[in-house]
């Protein structure tokens, strides 16, 4: 059936308009897949920056609102802004290491200032993505994603233990609940079908929440004080600019722009059986940057394409824009209801930790999968090994940079992702490209010379 043809009700055509009875459940399915991932980063940053309960609710609420707006921007491209592809946008885990570093050093207002500068860099990336892509082959992108995953593990473990600094940190009760959640997610992922497999993280959190309730681990105070309806509050958290914070965020936005290339490519291959076009990539990344500009003003954390929703597109082949517009609408409505945001903040840290540790593990494995797309030659192993060694090593021993200027410490000593990214980019350019066959031939020639 041709696009735009009257009566087009196909689920498998982007311009199709399937019935509401079919579209609504499929839209809810996408919401279920993204909701936990969208809320959790906001809770983590709120806790690290010492926000009040009301401020945490607002950060979560605004994050939901901006996720829906960002999704609509991708679905309905305007003047080359937007990919016009069936993707879901939301708050990204990838930024967490840098956001926590900036927030702990300068506060929440500095996060939004750095985010604003970084998002402008993403918009610029959208204009030049075609010539820049060659500098981010799978070996570089995979190294960055792997480092992001590894750097998130301490956060996940601290949450499983009950949240760093809480009175019950490390208690057996926290660990018990966390393992119940982790086991539930594991069972759903490997033995579940349909909803239980699709929404395994959500199911794990629901089970953990029900276990935590009778144990007195849930605090309903935020829910009682939250109103039913409220609009986002622009500039409520303020915006401050610190050069070192901005540099770190620019690096992260460049990296995530390249990650978005992978998600857009997976969407077109999985949903349309074709490669993504340069115009779709350019429009998608420009829209991603613009939505983050809006997020920094409204008071929400950086957005990104959601790989789990890309996976749903690839498995179901459902690409009708109406389905994704329904999902975006539900998320926006949730963002206008503070009661919903407040309820999400009542989830105990141990429950979040048990659920997110598997997410962090999947991020790590995604990085490994990208790396192994290329040959594991000495050259490529040097790039990956040295980049991760310096990125993870330096940030785990911050005293090693004690004699460096403060700005150097902020840019390079707080987030392993920044160091790993810059090192991988540099090494990929300066180390000559050699295949496994060429390296083997070199060794054979050395043997001949000895003879």
CB atoms near residue 427 (< 10 Å): 20
C-alpha dihedral sign at 35, 36, 42, 47: positive
pLDDT given for residue 450 in this prediction: 59
Could you read off the pLDDT of 95-114 as tens digits, one per residue?
888 898 899 889 999 999 99
Interval 117-123 mean pLDDT? 95
Selected residue with higher pLDDT from 251 and 387 = 387
Interval 393-416 mean pLDDT? 80
As a whole number of angstroms, the distance between CA 221 and CA 265 comes to 44
Asked if residue 425 has pLDDT above 50, the reply is yes
Rounded to the nearest 5°, which phi and psi values hold at 66?
-70, -30
Confidence band (pLDDT; 50, 70, 90) for 183?
very high
pLDDT given for residue 426 in this prediction: 92
pLDDT given for residue 238 in this prediction: 94
Share of the chain above pLDDT 90, in %: 39
As a whole number of angstroms, the distance between CA 43 and CA 159 comes to 11
pLDDT given for residue 383 in this prediction: 94
Q: Which of 180-194, 254-268, 436-450 has the highest mean predicted lDDT (pLDDT)?
A: 180-194
Residue pair 345/56 in contact by the 8 Å Cβ criterion: yes
Asked if residue 1 has pLDDT above 50, the reply is no
239-253, 348-362, 408-422, range with the lowest pLDDT = 408-422
Close Cβ partners of 114 (under 8 Å, ≥ 6 residues apart): 102, 241, 242, 245, 246, 248, 249
Rounded to the nearest 5°, which phi and psi values hold at 118?
-60, -40
Residue spans of alpha helices (H) in 199-346: 200-212, 221-225, 243-272, 278-298, 307-316, 321-335, 338-345
As a whole number of angstroms, the distance between CA 250 and CA 415 comes to 13
Six-digit token pair at 136?
């981010």
pLDDT given for residue 2 in this prediction: 46
Residue pair 417/95 in contact by the 8 Å Cβ criterion: no
Hunting for tokens 């797309």 — which residue is that?
A: 373
pLDDT given for residue 451 in this prediction: 55
CB atoms near residue 207 (< 10 Å): 21
pLDDT given for residue 5 in this prediction: 53
pLDDT given for residue 193 in this prediction: 80
Radius of gyration of the chain (CA): 22
Asked if residue 6 has pLDDT above 60, the reply is no
Contacts 24+ apart (CB under 8 A), 127-136: 127/282, 127/286, 129/257, 129/261, 129/278, 129/281, 129/282, 129/285, 130/278, 130/281, 130/282, 133/258, 133/261, 135/425, 135/428, 135/429, 136/258, 136/261, 136/425
As a whole number of angstroms, the distance between CA 27 and CA 322 comes to 8
β strands within 2-114, DSSP E: 89-91
Selected residue with higher pLDDT from 240 and 44 = 240
Confidence band (pLDDT; 50, 70, 90) for 3?
very low
Nearest to residue 59, comparing CAs of 295, 239, 327? Answer: 295
Percent of the chain as helix, strand, coil, to the nearest 5: 70, 0, 25
Q: How many residues are listed for the chain in this entry?
A: 451
Hunting for tokens 């109103």 — which residue is that?
A: 227
Asked if residue 127 has pLDDT above 50, the reply is yes
Could you read off the pLDDT of 51-98 as tens digits, one per residue?
988 898 899 999 999 999 999 999 998 988 999 999 999 998 888 888
Half-sphere exposure of 238 (CA within 13 A, CB side): 8
Asked if residue 308 has pLDDT above 80, the reply is no
Pairing mode, if any, of strands 89-91 and 303-305? antiparallel
Could you read off the pLDDT of 153-175 as tens digits, one per residue?
888 898 899 987 788 999 999 99
Selected residue with higher pLDDT from 94 and 21 = 21
Asked if residue 401 has pLDDT above 60, the reply is yes
pLDDT given for residue 413 in this prediction: 73
Interval 1-16 mean pLDDT? 73
Q: Which of 381-385, 433-437, 446-450 has the highest mean predicted lDDT (pLDDT)?
A: 381-385
Domain boundaries, the chain: 20-364
3-state class (DSSP) for residue 194:
coil
């Amino acid at each position: 059936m041709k696009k735009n043809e009257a009566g087009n009700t196909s689920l498998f055509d982007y311009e199709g308009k399937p019935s509401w009875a079919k579209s609504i459940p499929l839209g809810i399915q996408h919401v279920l897949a993204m909701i936990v991932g969208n809320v959790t980063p906001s809770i983590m940053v709120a806790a690290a920056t010492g926000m009040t309960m009301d401020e945490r609710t607002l950060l979560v609420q605004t994050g939901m609102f901006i996720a829906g707006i960002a999704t609509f921007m991708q679905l309905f491209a305007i003047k080359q802004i937007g990919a016009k592809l069936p993707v879901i946008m939301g708050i990204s885990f990838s930024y967490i290491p840098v956001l926590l570093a900036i927030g702990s050093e300068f506060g929440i207002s500095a996060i939004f200032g750095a985010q604003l500068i970084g998002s402008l860099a993403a918009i610029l990336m959208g204009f030049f993505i075609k010539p820049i892509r060659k500098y981010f082959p799978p070996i570089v992108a995979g190294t960055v994603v792997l480092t992001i995953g590894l750097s998130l593990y301490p956060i996940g473990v601290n949450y499983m233990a009950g949240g760093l600094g809480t009175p019950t940190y490390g208690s057996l009760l926290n660990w018990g609940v966390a393992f119940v959640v982790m086991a539930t997610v594991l069972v759903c992922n490997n033995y579940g079908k349909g909803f239980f497999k699709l929404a395994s993280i959500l199911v794990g959190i629901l089970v953990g929440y029900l276990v935590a309730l009778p144990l007195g681990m849930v605090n309903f105070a935020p829910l009682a004080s939250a109103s039913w309806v409220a609009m986002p509050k622009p500039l409520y958290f303020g915006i401050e600019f610190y050069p070192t914070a901005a540099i770190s965020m620019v690096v992260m936005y460049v990296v995530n722009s390249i990650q978005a290339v992978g998600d857009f490519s997976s969407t077109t291959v999985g949903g349309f059986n074709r490669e993504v076009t340069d115009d779709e990539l350019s429009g998608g990344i420009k829209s991603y940057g613009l939505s983050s500009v809006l997020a920094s003003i409204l008071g929400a954390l950086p957005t990104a394409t959601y790989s789990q929703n890309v996976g749903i597109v690839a498995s179901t082949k459902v690409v009708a824009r109406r389905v994704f517009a329904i999902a975006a609408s539900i998320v926006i409505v949730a963002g206008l209801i503070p009661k919903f945001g407040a309820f999400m903040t009542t989830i105990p840290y141990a429950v979040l930790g048990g659920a997110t540790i598997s997410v962090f593990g999947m991020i790590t494995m995604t990085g490994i999968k990208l790396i192994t797309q290329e040959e594991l030659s000495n050259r490529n192993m040097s790039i990956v090994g040295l980049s991760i060694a310096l990125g993870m090593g330096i940030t785990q021993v911050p005293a090693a940079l004690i004699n460096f200027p403060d700005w150097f410490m902020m840019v390079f000593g707080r987030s392993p992702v920044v160091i790993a990214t810059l090192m991988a980019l540099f090494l990929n350019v300066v180390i000559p490209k050699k295949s496994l066959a060429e390296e083997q031939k070199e060794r054979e020639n050395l043997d001949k010379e000895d003879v």
